Amino acid sequence: MIEQGDILTLDDQKKYVAVSILSLEGSQYVYLVNKENYKEFIIGELIGDSGVDEVDDPDLLETLIIKFNEDLKESLPKIIEQYM
Amino acid sequence: MNEFREFFSNNPLFVSSNFEQVGNHVYAKSGVLQQIKDQYPQLDVNVDVKYTLVDIAKTVWKEEKKRQAAASNHAEAANSTSGENKADTQDPDQKDKVNRVVAFLRDVIPEYKKSDYGFVASELLKLGYPESEVLFGIVQAGKDGIILNPKKVVDSYEKQLKREHLLPTAEGYVDQQNFGALGKAFFESYTTRVIDYQDIDYLFKELEESGHALTLEQQKDVRTHFVAELANELTSKYENTKLRGAVLANELYHEYGDIGLPFCYQILLANSNDDNRYALEFSYQKAYERYGKNEVINTLREIEASGYSEQEAAQTLINTKWPAKMVLETVKNVGPTTISLDVDSVINEYLEAIGYGNANHAEQSQNTAGAQENADVQENVGDENNQMGDEPDFEQNGYGDPNLNSGMGRSRRRKYHIVSREQAKSSIDKKAVVACMIAAAGCLSTTVLVSIFGVNPLVAAKNCFASLAAVKAANIGLSQLLPNMKDFVALAASVSTTIFGTISWLRLDRKKKQIEAQEALDLAEGGTKRV
């Protein structure tokens, strides 16, 4: 099961950090940031532990941005404490 | 101004030999203050304290004004009891000047429009007569049946005079290149209602005319210090207020709505690190929108009254630099019953001018919503360039840009396969994870400000990272983890623009598909194409 802080290698051969994961209406969504280049990011729906489908619904994207932001604000101190 | 200078240039105590320069300031030499105090026994100064020339001059001038006011009151009282003409109680020279002021007012009144007290006052100021004579003249003119509101003209005259008195101080600070002190001096004059924020432009012009011109950068510096003073005052005023965000935003809107709110807001945010940030942002945005909408409607009315065309109306609105989305929504909602301008034409001209117009009106009207959003992205970035004056080093990779760094911005939904998953074990990986998360936190909070509250990307990014740095730096050595904070601000601005642009693009794309589907349906049903 993918967890916050995991490093994922996708089939584009790049490594991404799962910075936030959340559940919404029965689906799991993830915010991935390229480990080497923070400008590259993916907002997608987790398909089990094997895939990520990019979100292309603008309303859903807006909702997810707000929720990822809230999640990160809450979890960042814990992650820092855990990792540093 | 003339009176002020005349007074000090004729005063034997205010000569250069009585003062000495220490550092950036000029102080009275030993014993001089006592001599001044002997001349003005009521002066509120301590002879054992070192005062600057500017401070002494201000204090003495204040005392001098009190004396003049007392003399004026005395003359007026004498006039009211004796029933004689006030000018009769004055010496011949003063009486002559008063009469000339009255005659001057008689000449100037035909040009005097309703409520334009400032015009009359500024014309009077140009005479260069002593204040008391001018004030007597105004009152006398009213008694002589010259149509003006003496009280308002007097108020305006005194205000302008005080503003003139500010100039020597301002010139001194410009000479010292002390723009912080100048901003503060302007603010002090503002708090005592001597100047309005708009008067700063006038003061800059006056300074230029006296050979103390400021560059645009220096003017910006002065304004920054002015607004910083205002922000500090407001912040401390509402320090212990529970609903600080809403209350503060309300005050900003109602009391200071016309003095560069975005700038003030930015500083307030930088000073604020409590949980009320979002409340402030939200409330401010609402207040600002209301203010902006009122301004758009007022602008439209002015344009209408001036007989300008829809094209000129659109260009005027573009020149205001208000966000396109707010402008277009407001224009749309004004409706044809409020103004005679063709609002649809104004919208079309506006979109055309900013590069989102379409010769095909029907198609354009279908795309208006998406184009507005898109225009708003452009406007946000453009606004930032105008407001901040510095070069945002983030890429403007908004919607539709084929060079988008993220995987977003396409209409097709991309699917990725997860090849492997690992947990950060080494310290290098752990630091990388934390850095990614901090970057993401900054980018997402910036995006929320940009997309939900409509704040400019770079402004939002700076605030978000300033907040992150303040909270985290002490504990984890943020500067080591994120060595170049400027790059992170650029990153957040870029990512937020990308996400906001993508959302706008996806909405536009969805609308386009809906239209295409509807058209296909119409054709299939044998109906006409929708217009």
> Are B416 and A12 inside 8 Å of each other by CB?
yes
DSSP tag of A68? H
> Are A41 and B443 inside 8 Å of each other by CB?
yes
Backbone angles phi, psi at A41, to 5 degrees: -145, 160
Is B506 an 8 Å CB contact of chain A? yes
Exposure pattern of B282-313 as b/e (b: 16+ CB <10 Å)? ebbbebbbebbbebbbebbeebeeeeeebeeb
The answer, yes or no, to whether residue B298 has pLDDT greater than 60, is yes
For residue range B269-289, list pLDDT tens digits in order: 555 555 555 555 556 566 666
Q: Comparing C-alpha atoms, which of B367, B381, B317, B374 is closest to residue B346?
A: B317
For residue range B129-145, list pLDDT tens digits in order: 777 788 888 888 877 77
Q: Which of A4, A32, A33, A53 to mutate to test the interface with B (most CBs of B within 10 A)?
A: A33
B387 lies in some domain? no
Lowest mean pLDDT of B70-74, B402-406, B524-528, name the range. Answer: B402-406
Residues 6+ apart with CB under 8 A from B347: B314, B328, B331, B332, B368
How close does chain B come to A23, measured CA to CA in Å?
18
The answer, yes or no, to whether residue B296 has pLDDT greater than 80, is yes
How close does chain B come to A78, measured CA to CA in Å?
10
Let me know: does B104 contact B96? Beta carbons within 8 Å.
no
Let me know: does B118 contact B149? Beta carbons within 8 Å.
no
Neighbours of B479 (CB within 10 A): 11
Lowest mean pLDDT of A64-68, B181-185, B240-244, name the range. Answer: B240-244
Q: Which of A49, A75, A80, A82 to mutate to test the interface with B (most CBs of B within 10 A)?
A: A80
DSSP tag of B57? H
Q: Percent of chain A having pLDDT more than 70?
A: 100
- Residue scoring higher pLDDT (B8 or A27): A27
> Are B416 and A44 inside 8 Å of each other by CB?
yes
Confidence of residue A19 (pLDDT cuts 50, 70, 90): very high
Residues 6+ apart with CB under 8 A from B421: A2, A6, A7, A8, A9, A49
Domain count of the fold of chain B: 1
The answer, yes or no, to whether residue B228 has pLDDT greater than 80, is no
Q: In terms of DSSP bridges, do strands A41-47 and B19-22 run parallel, antiparallel, or are they unpaired? A: unpaired
Read off the tokens for B455.
Answer: 């704040």
Q: Percent of chain B having pLDDT more than 90?
A: 3
The answer, yes or no, to whether residue B84 has pLDDT greater than 50, is no
How many whole angstroms separate alpha carbon B203 and alpha carbon B173? 13
For residue range B439-475, list pLDDT tens digits in order: 898 888 888 877 666 666 777 777 777 666 545 544 5
Confidence of residue A15 (pLDDT cuts 50, 70, 90): very high
Q: Quick one: pLDDT at residue B474?
A: 47
Domain ranges of chain A: 7-83
Domain span at B137: 2-161
**For range A35-39, the mean pLDDT:** 85
- Residue scoring higher pLDDT (B503 or A28): A28
A62 Cα distance to chain centroid: 15
CA distances (Å), origin B453, targets B227, B449, B483:
22, 5, 29
Residue located via tokens 């950068």: B217
Q: Quick one: pLDDT at residue A68?
A: 93
> Are A61 and B503 inside 8 Å of each other by CB?
yes
Label each residue of B449-513 as H, E or C: HHHCCCCCHHHHHHHHHHHHHHHHHHHHCHHHHCCCHHHHHHHHHHHHHHHHHHHHHHHHHHHHH
Angle, vertex CA B195, rays to CA B190 and CA B196, nearest 5: 85
Residues 25-84 of chain A whose Cβ lies under 8 A from any Cβ of chain B? 31, 33, 35, 37-44, 47, 49-58, 61-62, 65-66, 68-69, 72-73, 76, 79-80, 83-84
> Are B506 and A11 inside 8 Å of each other by CB?
no
Q: How many residues does chain A have?
A: 84
B20 lies in some domain? yes
The answer, yes or no, to whether residue B95 has pLDDT greater than 70, is yes
B144 lies in some domain? yes
The answer, yes or no, to whether residue B200 has pLDDT greater than 70, is yes
How many whole angstroms separate alpha carbon B183 and alpha carbon B173? 10
- End-to-end CA distance of chain A: give it in Å, rounded: 23
How many whole angstroms separate alpha carbon B128 and alpha carbon B173? 25
> Are B415 and A51 inside 8 Å of each other by CB?
yes
Is ipTM strictly over 0.90? Answer: yes
> Are A7 and B422 inside 8 Å of each other by CB?
yes
Q: Quick one: pLDDT at residue B301?
A: 84
Q: Quick one: pLDDT at residue A73?
A: 84
For residue range B167-191, list pLDDT tens digits in order: 888 999 999 899 989 999 888 888 8
Neighbours of B231 (CB within 10 A): 22
For residue range B367-401, list pLDDT tens digits in order: 333 333 333 333 333 333 222 222 222 222 222 22
Q: Quick one: pLDDT at residue B322?
A: 67
How many whole angstroms separate alpha carbon B29 and alpha carbon B292? 53
DSSP tag of A2? -
- Residue scoring higher pLDDT (B351 or B22): B351
Confidence of residue A64 (pLDDT cuts 50, 70, 90): very high
Residues 431-470 of chain B whose Cβ lies under 8 A from any Cβ of chain A? 431-441, 443-445, 447-448, 451-452
For residue range B483-496, list pLDDT tens digits in order: 555 577 777 877 87
Q: Quick one: pLDDT at residue B224?
A: 76
Let me know: does B267 contact B297? Beta carbons within 8 Å.
no
Q: How many CB pairs under 8 A join A and B?
A: 166
The answer, yes or no, to whether residue A6 has pLDDT greater than 90, is yes
Neighbours of B30 (CB within 10 A): 10
B328 lies in some domain? no
Most confident option among B104-118, B347-361, B367-381:
B104-118
Lowest mean pLDDT of B34-48, B362-376, B425-439, name the range. Answer: B362-376
Q: Quick one: pLDDT at residue A51?
A: 92
**For range B225-245, the mean pLDDT:** 66
How close does chain A come to B296, measured CA to CA in Å?
28
Q: Which residue of A has its CA nearest to B448?
A: A66
Mean pLDDT rounded to a whole number for chain B: 68
B392 lies in some domain? no
| DSSP states along B269-299 | HHH--STTHHHHHHHHHHHHHHHHHHHHHHH
How close does chain B come to A84, measured CA to CA in Å?
7
Q: Which of B277, B399, B421, B489 to mutate to test the interface with A (most CBs of A within 10 A)?
A: B421
